[in-house]
C-alpha cells in the first residue's frame, strides 16, 4: 500500500491510533484526526513519520459539516485527496440509560457523530475515489450490529450504528463499479488501553466475559482493517465483520 493516503477519524488514541500505526507500517501516508487530543495527535505524528511515511494531524469534529469540509480541504492541499477512509470517530455514553433519560442534545450528538458525520464524509470523498477508480471505505460498528436487535440502555447509539449497517451495504453496491469497497468492522468490548495494545500484550490475560478467554486488543481490529484495505481485497465489499472473540455485547455469554 505504498503511497496510499489513509484518513482515520478519531485517531489520536485508541483503536484509531492502532489502525494508523498499522497502515503506516504498510507504507500508507496518514491523516490523523482529533477533536481535543492535540498533544497525543502530535506525539503520534512524530512516531508515524519515523516510519518513513508522511503524516499530518488535523483537528475537526466529524459531526459538524463545516469542520468536515475544512478537514478535507487540508487533506486535498497536502495529498490531493484520500484513498482510504476509516470512519472510527463516534461518541459513546457508557452509562446505561433508558431512551427517555437521554437529553435531546445527547440524542442529536450521538446520531450526528456516529451516523450522519460518516455519511457526509463519505459523500464528499467518493467523487475523488471514483476519478481514481479505487477506494477503501471502512465503517466502525459494534459486535452483532448487523443483526439490528434491541439493545436496551443503548437505544440511540445502537440506532445510529445499525443505520450505518444498511448504509454500508447500499454504498458497497453503488460504488463497486468504480473500484471502491465499503465494509464495516464491528469490535467487541475492547476497553481502555487495550485498544492500543498488540495481541501479544493481551495474551495470557484472563477475560471471563469473552468466550475465547482473553480480552480483545487494538491489533485484533487493525489487522482486519489492514486486510480490507489491500489491493487484492477488492472482492470483499458490503460485509459486516464481527471481531469479538465470540462475545455478544447485547446478550452476554456469561
- Cβ neighbors of 30 (< 8 A, separation 6 or more) are 5, 6, 8, 11, 20, 23, 24, 48, 53, 54, 55, 56
Query: What pTM was computed for the model?
Result: 0.94
pLDDT of residue 211: 86
pLDDT of residue 204: 87
200: its cell numbers? 501479544
**DSSP β-ladder status, 240-243 and 84-87:** unpaired
In a domain, 226, yes or no: yes
Entry field: residues in the chain? 254
Domain count, the chain: 1
Report how far residue 117's alpha carbon sits from residue 217's, in angstroms, rounded to the nearest whole number.
Answer: 26
The per-residue pLDDT of the chain, averaged, comes to 95
In a domain, 185, yes or no: yes
In a domain, 41, yes or no: yes
Domain harbouring 18, CATH code = 3.40.50.720
Q: Is the pLDDT of residue 189 over 90?
A: no
Query: In terms of residue numbers, what domain contains 194?
Result: 5-243
Q: What is the mean pLDDT of residues 141-170?
A: 94
Q: What is the mean pLDDT of residues 160-179?
A: 98
Q: Is the pLDDT of residue 252 over 60?
A: no
pLDDT in tens, 197-237: 999 999 989 988 888 889 999 999 999 999 999 999 999 99
Dihedral sign (CA 173, 231, 235, 168): negative
In a domain, 249, yes or no: no
In a domain, 253, yes or no: no
pLDDT of residue 1: 83
Percentage of the chain exceeding pLDDT 90: 89
Task: Tell me which of 22-26, 41-45, 90-94, 231-235 is least confident.
Answer: 90-94
Q: What is the mean pLDDT of residues 39-65?
A: 97
Confidence of residue 254 (pLDDT cuts 50, 70, 90): very low
153: its cell numbers? 440502555
In a domain, 252, yes or no: no
Q: What is the mean pLDDT of residues 245-253?
A: 73
Q: Is the pLDDT of residue 246 over 80?
A: yes
CA distances from 124 to 8, 73, 171 (A): 15, 11, 13
Are 62 and 11 in contact by the 8 Å Cβ rule? The answer is no
Q: What is the mean pLDDT of residues 13-42?
A: 97
- Cβ neighbors of 193 (< 8 A, separation 6 or more) are none
Phi and psi dihedrals of 139, rounded to 5? Answer: -105, 150
Task: Tell me which of 27-31, 68-72, 104-108, 187-191 is least confident.
Answer: 187-191
Percentage of the chain exceeding pLDDT 70: 98
pLDDT of residue 251: 65
In a domain, 186, yes or no: yes
In a domain, 134, yes or no: yes
Report how far residue 133's alpha carbon sits from residue 115's, in angstroms, rounded to the nearest whole number.
Answer: 25
Confidence of residue 253 (pLDDT cuts 50, 70, 90): very low
Q: What is the mean pLDDT of residues 131-139?
A: 98
- Cβ neighbors of 191 (< 8 A, separation 6 or more) are 215
Q: What is the mean pLDDT of residues 127-145?
A: 96
| CB-based burial, 59-79: b 16+ in 10 Å, e otherwise | bbbbbbeebbeebbeebeeeb
Are 174 and 229 in contact by the 8 Å Cβ rule? The answer is no
Amino acid at each position: 500500500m505504498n503511497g496510499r493516503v489513509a484518513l482515520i477519524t478519531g485517531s489520536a488514541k485508541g483503536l484509531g491510533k492502532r489502525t494508523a500505526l498499522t497502515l503506516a507500517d504498510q507504507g500508507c501516508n496518514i491523516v490523523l484526526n482529533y477533536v481535543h487530543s492535540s498533544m497525543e495527535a502530535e506525539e503520534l505524528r512524530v512516531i508515524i513519520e519515523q516510519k518513513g511515511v508522511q503524516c499530518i494531524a488535523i483537528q475537526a469534529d466529524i459531526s459538524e459539516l463545516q469542520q468536515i469540509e475544512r478537514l478535507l480541504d487540508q487533506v486535498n492541499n497536502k495529498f490531493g485527496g484520500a484513498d482510504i477512509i476509516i470512519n472510527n470517530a463516534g461518541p459513546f455514553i457508557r452509562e446505561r440509560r433508558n431512551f427517555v433519560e437521554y437529553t435531546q442534545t445527547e440524542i442529536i450528538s450521538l446520531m450526528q457523530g456516529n451516523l450522519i458525520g460518516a455519511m457526509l464524509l463519505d459523500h464528499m470523498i467518493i467523487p475523488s475515489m471514483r476519478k481514481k477508480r479505487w477506494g477503501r471505505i471502512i465503517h466502525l460498528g459494534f459486535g452483532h450490529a448487523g443483526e439490528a436487535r434491541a439493545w436496551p440502555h443503548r437505544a440511540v447509539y445502537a440506532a445510529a450504528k445499525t443505520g450505518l449497517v444498511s448504509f454500508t451495504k447500499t454504498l458497497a453496491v453503488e460504488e463497486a463499479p468504480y473500484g471502491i469497497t465499503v465494509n464495516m468492522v464491528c469490535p467487541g468490548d475492547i476497553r481502555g488501553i487495550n485498544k492500543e495494545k498488540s495481541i501479544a500484550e493481551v495474551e495470557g490475560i484472563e477475560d471471563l466475559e469473552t468466550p475465547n478467554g482473553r480480552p480483545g486488543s487494538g491489533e485484533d481490529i487493525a489487522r482486519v482493517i489492514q486486510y480490507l484495505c489491500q489491493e487484492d481485497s477488492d472482492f470483499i465489499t458490503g460485509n459486516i465483520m464481527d471481531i469479538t472473540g465470540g462475545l455478544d455485547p447485547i446478550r452476554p455469554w456469561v
